[in-house]
Homo-oligomer: A and B are copies of this chain.
């Protein structure tokens, strides 16, 4: 056996005990064994929890997880211009990403399976929660407690990144209508991002209304936490003077005693992977399948009847 042959055999053996080169097999099979996930960021509890649900499910399917966190406007333009996921993953999961019509069209052009998570996309498989219905039930809870002046706080979404909260607001308004309560624009507030005093200002505006709200419904638990901190700062007892209700059931919510609408984030992730597999395996007859996961009101100690009038 020549020196060269020996070297080659050894190299081959070493190679064999390890993973194969996926690039080579991808090239011939057309499959990458990877799934790409497009998200507006990685920091919220909801997105982390969704990703956590996906990861083991993907692993079980023998798929790897490629993450595109597209956060600022520049990255966004670049992502939709270059479409880096193309031929670089077997499917693209779009999570909580409010797409413009042009962006939606670009994705459709990709010619690869698309699955929408935590958002509805006509004509494409989607997994989400009925935000409107959930918010409807949330506001009903506040109404049942006796509240009549209920504010709704939403994140000011300057960049239009995250999925719209329109549906939650719609559910809230529907509950008010149901109860025969007139809608008051002053009670709907957009709160700017984490930094700065946006929340304090919002609370200030609400408290200086002629008839201030006795309950505050926030679009997300994250927002509710900031609200609770601002109320504490202002020495306003919860639920003594105002009730607070969130949306998500963040891990911290149980610890904080926050009443909220629970949505199954990890389950959304798992279900999205299941849908993806069925699309990839072509096992499923209906590529437009929409799966709506249930939500649940979790009443805790931040909600109570309104204070009695003096």
Chain A interface residues (CB < 8 Å from chain B):
18-24, 26-27, 32, 34, 41-43, 48-49, 51-52, 55-56, 59, 64-69, 71, 75, 82-88, 194, 225-226, 228-229, 251-252, 254-256
Contacts and interface: CB of A to CB of B under 8 A. Distances in A.
Contacts of A66: 34, 64-67
Contacts of A42: 48, 51-52, 55
A26 B34 CA distance: 15
B19 A82 contact: yes
A118 B10 CA distance: 36
Given A41-B52, A56-B75, A225-B252, 19 more contacts: A18-B83, A19-B85, A19-B86, A22-B23, A23-B24, A23-B87, A24-B27, A42-B51, A43-B52, A43-B251, A48-B48, A56-B69, A56-B71, A59-B75, A64-B66, A65-B67, A65-B69, A229-B255, A252-B252
Nearest to A50: B42
A42 B82 CA distance: 28
The list of the 8 closest CB pairs from A to B, nearest first, reads: A23-B26, A229-B255, A55-B69, A19-B86, A23-B23, A42-B52, A21-B87, A23-B27
Contacts of A84: 19, 64
Contacts of A83: 18-19
A20 B88 CA distance: 9
A19 to B, nearest CB: 4
A55 to B, nearest CB: 4
A129 B191 CA distance: 35
A97 to B, nearest CB: 15
Contacts of A68: 64-65
Nearest to A225: B255
5 contacts: A23-B23, A65-B66, A65-B68, A225-B252, A225-B255
Given A225-B252, A255-B225, A22 B87 contact: yes
Contacts of A226: 255
A296 B226 CA distance: 23
Given A42-B51, A52-B41, A86 B18 contact: yes
Contacts of A59: 69, 75
A85 to B, nearest CB: 8
A32 B43 contact: no
Nearest to A27: B23
Contacts of A82: 19
A72 to B, nearest CB: 8
Contacts of A52: 41-43, 69
Contacts of A254: 229
Contact of A19 (B34, B55, B88, B194): B88
A220 to B, nearest CB: 13
